[in-house]
Structure 1
Amino acid sequence: MTKLEKLLSQYAAYHLDRKNILTHFIGIPLIVFAIICLTAKAGFVVAGFPVTLALLIIVVSVIYYLSLDVIFGVVMAAIFAIAYPYALIITEMSMMHWFTFSIATFVIGWVFQFIGHFYEKKKPAFMDDIVGLAVGPLFVLAELVFLIGLRKSLEERMLAEAKRLRSEMDQKSIKVVNAD
């Protein structure tokens, strides 16, 4: 099993309900965009080129995603390349409007996340493994790719492992409840 398959499977184990996945199609992009907006305000200039904290986070994220899967990494780079200029436009707002927009977007994104986990009846993956915060956007991209009919063998392997992991999680929960 590749590192990509392992990470997606671990994340998917918390995301097997279709309603939960659908809420993540809205929540995760909102959260990611809000983080880009919030961090695009902080920066410095190198050789006349503005370097923001958001740009640094994007570069590190894309390198991480490329290390897991070239195709997904390139697509994530393209998504960030589209989102980043919009975030820079948001930073041109007054401080109050920029901050209000960014925080509201962040909160709305998390509301969608928690609604999805209500359907799932499982806590978010990052509560057990902080890496889930980085894997979430990649998971949404993978789910979109699967939805349009691509990379089906990856989807099958990921789902099989996710269901196995979910079964283990459920068994641990039953043991904890019975021990009380």
Structure 2
Amino acid sequence: MSKLVHHLTLYAAYHRNPHNVATHMVGIPMIMLGVDILLSRPILPAEPLALTPAIAISTLAAIYYLRLDAMLGAIMTALLVIGCWAGITIAQMPTGAWLAIGGALFVAGWALQLIGHGYEGRKPAFLDDIRGLLIGPLFIVAEILFAMGARRNIRQAIEKRLTKPSERGHHGGHLPS
């Protein structure tokens, strides 16, 4: 089994309730954008691009995603580039506006996550495996692709693993009724 299926299965076990998944569809992008904004200062002028902590972290994340899966990695890389661009744009605002926008997105995104996990009745995945912080955004992109009918083989492999009694017991996942 691929590392991609393994990581998405572990994450999916914590995200079986559709209300939880819905809050993550909004909350995770908010958190990511908030982090991009807050980490877009300081900016190190360099040619042809400026360098920020957000760009450095996004580059490492993109490499990780690309190693897991070329197609999903390419989509994630494009989203990370957009996030860094937005972060740099907003970081050019006055300090109060920069902090207010970045902080509000970050806090509101986490509030949505907590609400979602209230529906789920289960703690967030990253509390058991810190990689959940990286897999969460990938899970959202994968769920969107699955809803569009793409990557059926990955979805089937995840669902198959989640229905195994040994996997449910080990990871706590359950199938919705």
Same fold by TM-score greater than 0.5: yes
State yes or no: 1:167 paired with 2:169: yes
4+ residue runs over 6 A deviation: none
Q: List per-residue Cα deviations over 1:33-57 (Å, max 9, x = no partner).
A: 1111011112323456411111111
Map 1:40-79 → 2, pairs under 5 A = 40-47=40-47, 49-79=49-79
The 1:52/1:124 distance shift into structure 2, 3 A limit, reads same
| Aligned equivalents of 1:170, 1:86: Cα separation in 2 | 37
Give 1:83 deviation, angstroms: 2.4
Asked whether the equivalents of residues 14 and 122 of structure 2 are also in contact (C-alpha less than 8 Å), the reply is yes
Percent identical across equivalent pairs?
37
The 1:170/1:55 distance shift into structure 2, 3 A limit, reads closer
Give 1:136 deviation, angstroms: 0.5
Helix, strand or coil for the counterpart of 1:51?
coil
2:146 corresponds to? 146
Give 5+ residue unaligned stretches, structure 1: 172-180
Give 1:170 deviation, angstroms: 4.6
| Aligned equivalents of 2:93, 2:142: Cα separation in 1 | 33
Which structure has the bigger radius of gyration?
1
| Aligned equivalents of 2:163, 2:115: Cα separation in 1 | 21
Letter in 1 for 2:152: K
Give 5+ residue unaligned stretches, structure 2: none
Asked whether the equivalents of residues 8 and 135 of structure 1 are also in contact (C-alpha less than 8 Å), the reply is yes
**Higher relative helix content:** 1
Give 1:163 deviation, angstroms: 4.1
Give 1:139 deviation, angstroms: 0.5
RMSD between aligned residues: 1.6
Helix, strand or coil for the counterpart of 2:137?
helix
Asked whether the equivalents of residues 14 and 166 of structure 1 are also in contact (C-alpha less than 8 Å), the reply is no
Asked whether the equivalents of residues 30 and 109 of structure 2 are also in contact (C-alpha less than 8 Å), the reply is yes
Count matched residues.
171
Asked whether the equivalents of residues 13 and 172 of structure 2 are also in contact (C-alpha less than 8 Å), the reply is no
Helix, strand or coil for the counterpart of 2:50?
strand
| Aligned equivalents of 1:65, 1:147: Cα separation in 2 | 20
